[in-house]
Structure 1
Amino acid sequence: MDYKFQVVGIQSQLEMGPIAENGSVREFKDESVFSPEPGTQKMQPSHIGDCGSVSGSFQAGGRKKWSSGVYKSIKTVLLSNKLNLLMPFGPLAIIIHQLSGHNGWVFFLSLLGITPLAERLGYATEQLAFYTGSTVGGLLNATFGNATELIIAIYALRSNMIRVVQLSLLGSILSNMLLVLGCAFFCGGLVFYQKEQVFDKSTAIVNSGLLLMAVMGLLFPAVLHYTHTEVHYGKSELALSRFSSCVMLVVYAAYLFFQLRSQKDIYVPIPEEGSQNGESTDDNDNETPEISKWESVIWLAIITAWISILSEYLVDAIEGASHAWNIPIAFIGVILLPIVGNAAEHASAIMFAMKDKLDISLGVAIGSSTQISMFAIPFCVVVGWMMGQPMDLNFQLFETATLFITVIVVAFFLQEGTSNYFKGLMLILCYVIVAASFFVHEDPRPTGG
């Protein structure tokens, strides 16, 4: 009875109306608190049309959200950088090729059109690196940073332009070691001019050793050729190049295992240096991905495909541009092409150096040179072997000597583990000397050509 009176009291306070004497408690419970009628009313046939309109609004909202996401991604990737103003020169190069066929203008416009694409390729790689970690991100940065040079090399190899392949890959190594690293040291030294920036010496020593091994692989075929000590003339040099390329690919695979397993923090900057300036926490807070992981993958595929299309026109116009402008092919292959292909490395290395993260700058610049010398060049030799092209490691005496001297100079600069703007300036001026040397260098005709 007490329970019944309590329920009646509650009902009277809520003004729910009179309760019948028989089963009053059950009626109150069923109708006021646990009644399923509101739920069943939503599923009545008269409201099915309303549910359809709601689902249709959800579909329209999802479609609108998807379109806004696509617009935001396009705006972030294509409209957020002033360098992207050069992108229309790519289609313009194709139009001029179809209308006039002037190789000089086609080469120049293709060069301008590829420049922002190479930089955006590095940007998409950096965005993907946020989801893969620092070690894999550094490797991805070096890999896709060299994608432009590798695509150009494969198209030139298919066109039987072996010398262009050799010169462009050699120029990419020189550009990364002297120009990219020099700009990183110079800009970082200007920002932190009151102190010397510090980086991990062990990483630099490993990369310097790999670069010296690559020089050894390029030096022996050239020495064998110029000393005329081949057992089988015209065959031993090519056989040695293919064997050395396979060995270098094995060494590079072991190097990747060494990075990913034994040295997982190889691309992680030294934390003490950033904490002294009080900037590491701010940088880490600001460093958030601007696009999603799948957007990064899709943009990588789109940009790589567009670079491949423009690279074909660029390679076809190299010889015509050399004759039209009276510029040696060696200068075009060693200086002009790598500057365009290394746009991503330039931007990344300078940006990280100005944030006092020289370990990442070294991973981009020196790591990129290591990847070209130990992977891209041997890979092109193997691909040429499959294509039936006599691609070898004989880069001629002048080019091999230039590479050897450059590796020695950079190794001396890296042995202290410190950098400043003066070291960067010296590296940049060394690159200027190399560029002037190739401008007055007449490339010899390849033997057997």
Structure 2
Amino acid sequence: MGSLDGRSAHGHEDKGHLCGSENITQKSGLNPVSEGGSFSRVSRVVSMETLSHGVCRSIKTVVFSNKLNLLMPFGPLAILVHLLNDNQGLVFFFSLLGITPLAERLGYATEQLAFFTGSTVGGLLNATFGNATELIISIHALRGGMIRVVQQSLLGSILSNMLLVLGCAFFSGGLVFIKKEQLFNKSTAVVNSGLLLMAVMGLLFPAVLHYTHSEVHFGKSELALSRFSSCIMLIAYGAYLYYQLKTDDHQYEPLNEEVSPSASAGQNVNDKDEAPEISKWEAIIWLAVMTAWISFLSDYLVDAIDGASKAWRIPIAFISVILLPIVGNAAEHASAIMFAMKDKLDISLGVAIGSSTQIAMFGIPFYVVVGWMMGTPMDLNFHLFETAVLFITVLVVAFLLQVCLERISGFMFCNTRRQYALVFYSCCTLSPCINTPL
């Protein structure tokens, strides 16, 4: 009886599977008896249905999962206004709104890809694609001959990352973890600070050469020195990447989780809950799509900068130093603060300081070389005031990271005062850059 019941059960199961396949063949209009290749066609139909379901799920996850994506229609609206009305102020405003969710989704796709690449490569990807929006905008500006816009947007990105973002990350982490100490890897901060000092020296020499009027050939010696320094900085940054990928392969991982009091309770649970929402190839495809759309909108954004400045009666320096870096780095600004609030201060430093290092050691010299190939006299002379602000900023942040902020307490009086000081200093430093003439 037992065997008969088992056979009957299997018989019903086989009938069920057979009926399911018959239903699929009936829906698709195929007859498995009369046609020899019908089952292969059924499998193709099923695979197409699975593919369409996966595409719909990916679009739903990436496009419809964030309220900020409600701003995406402003991108096509900017193109429509440019074609119909050509109001430069509206074109710039709509382009700025349309690029903002794209920059955030670019950071989201990078974070999803980081689940499959590891901590070190993921940190480099976050820093690279976090700056992708601003790098694309700068390429369009350089192609249009707007050298000062490129220089000031890169400068504003470094200042906002090193001062505003880093200070807000420290302060937010201190508010969340009041009665504990947040730790970070000091060696990584020392390496980044050294690279930033090297970048500042590369920017300082052409400015000093220009303002001391000691050039043998006026204008040519400054440009030649800028190009030579840019090549040296690119080689140094390549060596730094090799050091990150081959030698120091654990710098973005949390520092000694067993020592951290929060690692035993809340952090491990959160790490288990974190899982990729899209696959690796979906993340790569979305990165390509977002980058192409940002590049397309950046062309309209850059062309409307001059008209928006005249229509809104604001200096181009404000747009270059404040607006463009905020939009381009919005994703990494938010991620650095969120990681600090999750007691992952090493990742916050990797995003904020790593992004500044990448712009200073790769972005700026890269545009000098690109301008060299395009015949545009892009140099490292950021004018005396901007260079002095950058030099003082690097010194202050390096001093805080190496000496004062080796152990950042949550709300202890001394360390909290330093966090307030860093945020206040960032506001005081960025404010005079707004009124700097071009």
Return 177-186 or 309-318, whichever deviates more.
177-186
Separation (CA, whole Å) in 1 of partners of 2:70 and 2:261: 35
1:323 aligns with 2:310: yes
Alignment partner of 1:227 is 2:222: no
Partner of 1:68 in structure 2?
53
Q: Could you tell me whether the CA contact under 8 Å between 1:327 and 1:439 is conserved in 2?
A: no
Structure 1 counterpart of 2:269, from 282, 289, 302? 282
Q: Indicate if the aligned counterparts of 1:218 and 1:393 stay in contact, CA closer than 8 A.
A: yes
1:34 — aligned with what?
Answer: none
Aligned mates of 1:49, 1:367 — CA distance in 2 = 65
- Secondary structure of 1:109's aligned partner: helix
Q: 2:93 aligns with which of 108, 115, 119?
A: 108
Determine the structure 1 residue equivalent to 2:246.
261
Equivalence for 2:369 = 382
Asked if 2 retains the 8 angstrom alpha-carbon contact of 1:222 and 1:393, the reply is yes
Aligned to 1:134: 119
Does the CA contact (< 8 Å) of 2:180 and 2:261 recur in 1?
no
How far 1:274 sits from its partner (Å)? 6.0
- TM-score normalised over the length of structure 2: 0.88
Match of 2:28? Answer: none
Instruction: Determine the C-alpha separation between the residues in 1 that align with 2:422 and 2:64.
Output: 33
Corresponding residue for residue 243 of structure 1: 228
2:430 to 430, 435, 438: 435
AA of the residue aligned to 1:358: L
Match of 1:354 among 338, 341, 345: 341
SS of 1:278's equivalent? helix
Q: Structure 1 residues 225 and 57 mapped into 2: Cα distance closer, same or farther (>3 Å)?
A: same
- Give 1:417's aligned residue: 406
Deviation of residue 411 (structure 1)? 1.2
Matching of residues 111-122 of structure 1 within 5 Å: 111-122=96-107
Check 1:245–1:53 CA distance in 2 against 1; reply closer, same or farther (3 A cut). same
Q: Which residue of 2 aligns with 1:183?
A: 168
Q: Is the 8 A contact 1:197 1:358 kept in 2?
A: yes
Contact 1:124 1:299 (C-alpha < 8 Å) held by counterparts = yes
Cα deviation, residue 430, structure 1: 2.3
1:277 positional shift: 4.9
Q: Does the 8 Å contact 1:93/1:106 carry over to 2?
A: yes
- Whole-angstrom distance in 1 between the partners of 2:54 and 2:252: 32
Shift, 1:149, TM fit: 1.1
Root-mean-square deviation over aligned CA pairs: 1.8
Give me the whole-angstrom Cα distance separating, in 1, the residues matched to 2:34 and 2:425: 76
Match of 1:403 in 2: 390
Q: Secondary structure at the match of 2:219?
A: coil
Structure 1 CA distance, aligned partners of 2:424 and 2:77? 34
* Partner SS for 2:371: helix
Partners in 1 of 2:36 and 2:400 — Cα distance? Answer: 71
Q: Secondary structure at the match of 2:225?
A: helix
The match for 1:303 is 290
Q: Is the 8 A contact 1:184 1:424 kept in 2?
A: no
Q: How much does 1:425 deviate?
A: 3.8
Identity of aligned residues (%): 70
CA contact (8 A) 1:94 1:313 kept: yes
Q: Give how far 1:57 is off.
A: 3.3
Kept after mapping to 1: 8 A contact 2:106/2:291: yes
What SS does the aligned partner of 2:139 have? helix
Contact 1:142 1:368 survives alignment (8 Å): yes
* 196-205 or 362-371, larger mean C-alpha shift: 196-205
Counterpart contact for 1:122–1:345, Cα < 8 Å: yes
**Based on CA coordinates, which of the two structures has the bigger radius of gyration?**
1
The 10-residue stretch of structure 1 (272-281 or 385-394) with the greater mean CA deviation from structure 2: 272-281
- Deviations for 1:306-327, whole angstroms, at most 9, x for unmatched residues? 0001111111111111111111
Unaligned runs of 5+ in 2: 5-30
Q: Decide whether the 8 Å contact of 2:317 with 2:435 is kept in 1.
A: no
Question: What is the CA distance between 1:53 and its match in structure 2?
Answer: 4.7
Report the count of equivalent residues: 400
Code of the aligned partner of 2:433: F
Pairwise CA distance, 1:101: 1.2
Amino acid in the other structure paired with 1:117: L
Cα distance in 1 for partners of 2:419, 2:62 equals: 30
Residue type of the alignment partner of 2:342: K
| TM-fit CA distance, 1:50 | 7.5
Q: Output the TM-score relative to the length of structure 1.
A: 0.86
Deviates more, 1:294-303 or 1:260-269: 260-269
| Residue equivalent to 1:28 | none
